[in-house]
């Protein structure tokens, strides 16, 4: 597909056929993520392609347990119902043919370290220094989503399951300083009539200062 056709036709897909994408296609998708820009070219990421259904089930159980734990907190019935929706939409990844776990590797920011050493308040640092590592990883995930679509696959970018990040670290055998920040499901869409949610018009989100 033409690049802008890929951009304009990509949709979030949550239901897939059972066909397993070949490893060569997943490699192409992850390689697109590898080529994304990153802060100071740190490339502080790792991508774990999970085919194994037992690992996916173990991750699913961890997410379910965590949302059950949250639902036992002192919250309103309305919020419990909302949590139930989060729990449902956080767990569909277990049925995806492939799940790519996106891992943030440790990275130190030179400027942030200078500010901390000079006792700048953390809330001010957070405004002065956006989380460039996460911004970099976001670029990588978007590259992978577009590459997958160009190859005929659907994807869904998930952050809600990361409530179970501690258990995920155990399951995926991550080192202490690495953290999982997102999941990306990949598979052949179950059908072709999925609808995209409406997007804001360009005039609402763009300004030109001439």
CA distance 184 to 198: 22
What average pLDDT score do residues 135-162 get?
97
Please report the pLDDT score of residue 125 as a whole number.
85
CA distance 24 to 32: 13
Model pTM? 0.92
For residue range 70-109, list pLDDT tens digits in order: 989 988 989 988 898 888 889 999 999 999 999 999 888 8
* Homologous superfamily (CATH) for 3-205: NADH Oxidase (3.40.109.10)
Please report the pLDDT score of residue 196 as a whole number.
83
Please report the pLDDT score of residue 61 as a whole number.
97
Please report the pLDDT score of residue 112 as a whole number.
87
Beta bridge partners of 99: 50, 185
pLDDT at 111 over 90: no
Please report the pLDDT score of residue 149 as a whole number.
97
What average pLDDT score do residues 151-178 get?
95
Of the candidate ranges 18-27, 103-112, 130-139, the one whose mean pLDDT is the lowest: 103-112
Please report the pLDDT score of residue 126 as a whole number.
85
**From its phi and psi, is residue 156 left (phi > 0), alpha (psi between -120 and 50) or beta?**
beta
pLDDT at 158 over 90: yes
Beta-carbon-side half-sphere exposure of residue 72 (alpha carbons within 13 Å):
6
Please work out, in degrees rounded to the nearest 5, the angle formed at the alpha carbon of residue 156 by the alpha carbons of 48 and 105.
35
CA distance 31 to 90: 26
Please report the pLDDT score of residue 67 as a whole number.
93
Location of structure tokens 């501690």: 166
Mean pLDDT taken over the chain? 94
Phi, psi of 185 (to 5 degrees): -85, 145
Residue 190 in tokens = 């179950």
Domain ranges of the chain: 3-205
């Amino acid at each position: 597909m033409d690049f802008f056709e890929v951009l304009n036709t990509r949709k979030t897909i949550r239901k897939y056929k059972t066909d397993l994408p070949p490893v060569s296609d997943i490699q192409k998708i992850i390689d697109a993520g590898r080529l994304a820009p990153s802060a100071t070219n740190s490339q502080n990421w790792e991508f774990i392609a999970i085919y194994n259904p037992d690992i996916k089930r173990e991750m699913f159980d961890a997410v379910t347990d965590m949302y059950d734990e949250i639902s036992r907190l002192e919250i309103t019935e309305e919020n419990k119902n909302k949590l139930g929706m989060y729990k449902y939409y956080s767990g569909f990844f277990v049925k995806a043919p492939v799940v790519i776990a996106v891992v943030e590797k440790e990275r130190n920011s030179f400027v942030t370290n200078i500010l901390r050493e000079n006792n700048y308040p953390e809330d001010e640092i957070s405004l002065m220094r956006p989380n460039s590592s996460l911004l970099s990883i976001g670029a990588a995930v978007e590259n992978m989503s577009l590459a997958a679509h160009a190859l005929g696959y659907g994807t869904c970018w998930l952050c809600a399951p990361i409530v179970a990040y501690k258990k995920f670290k155990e399951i995926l055998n991550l080192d202490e300083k690495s953290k999982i920040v997102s999941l990306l499901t990949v598979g052949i869409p179950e059908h072709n009539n999925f609808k995209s949610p409406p997007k804001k018009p360009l005039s609402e989100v763009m300004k030109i200062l001439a």
